[in-house]
Structure 1
Amino acid sequence: MAFYAYLLRCSDGSYYAGHTDNLEQRVEQHQSGALGGYTATRRPVGLVWSEWFQTRDDAFLAEQRIKGWSRAKKEALIAGDWERVQMLARNRQEGGLCD
């Protein structure tokens, strides 16, 4: 079975990170407001990033890690700019203000 971590862009420009074993269904649930919570009042939402994982635990850990990231780092992830993701991680570890 496949598990996914994902990132949605909400109508207010914010991002929502989650994980699931059925990505298409989960995005539809967010889109319809069926799940309530954060995304229900920020529709429409759009899937901007997802990654496949072998276990639910791995997908959940990715979700939790991404939730702690700055907006800039999330946008670098969405763009596939791994150099910027790494640079922002280094800046944060060094106490920089770029993150």
Structure 2
Amino acid sequence: MPFMYILRCSDRSFYVGSTWDLERRLWQHSQGEGAEYTKRRLPVRLEYFEEYERMSEAFGREKQVQGWGHKKRQALIDGRLADLSALSRTAKKDPPGDASL
């Protein structure tokens, strides 16, 4: 099954990705064989994931969450789903440096 996942990097930023094999992808990130973004920010830790029926759904969700600010991603991780809408309106107030690739 495909997954959308969020990693927390050593600099406290988030990385959002999608994969068919979550365990293998996490190992790759941990070994510095994942994305350039995470390679420069080791160690990384899995914070959140969602499972999907199709890769197109996981990839679509990845792109959606990549467009979110740090606070909104943290609310998703924390399960504060009721806060997501309000955080959409304040996303532009997030500090710079909340990059995700």
Give aligned pairs, total: 94
Distance 1:7 1:97 in 2: 20
Give 3-state SS (helix, strand or coil) of 2:6's partner: strand
Aligned to 1:31: 30
* Equivalences for residues 16-95 of structure 1 within 5 A: 16-89=15-88, 91=89
Q: CA deviation at 1:5?
A: 0.1
Distance 1:24 1:57 in 2: 19
Give 3-state SS (helix, strand or coil) of 2:12's partner: coil
Q: Tell me the C-alpha RMSD between the 2 structures.
A: 1.6
Distance 2:52 2:35 in 1: 25
Q: Which segments of 5 or more consecutive residues in structure 2 lack a partner in the other structure? A: 95-101
CA distance change for structure 1 residues 40 and 83 in 2, over 3 Å: closer, same or farther? same
Distance 2:13 2:73 in 1: 10
Distance 1:53 1:64 in 2: 14
Question: TM-score, normalised to structure 2's length?
Answer: 0.86
Question: TM-score, normalised to structure 1's length?
Answer: 0.88
How many percent identity over aligned positions? Answer: 37
Q: Which runs of 4+ in 1 moved over 4 A?
A: 96-99
Q: Which segments of 5 or more consecutive residues in structure 1 lack a partner in the other structure? A: none
Distance 2:92 2:29 in 1: 33
Q: CA deviation at 1:97?
A: 5.8
Give 3-state SS (helix, strand or coil) of 2:5's partner: strand
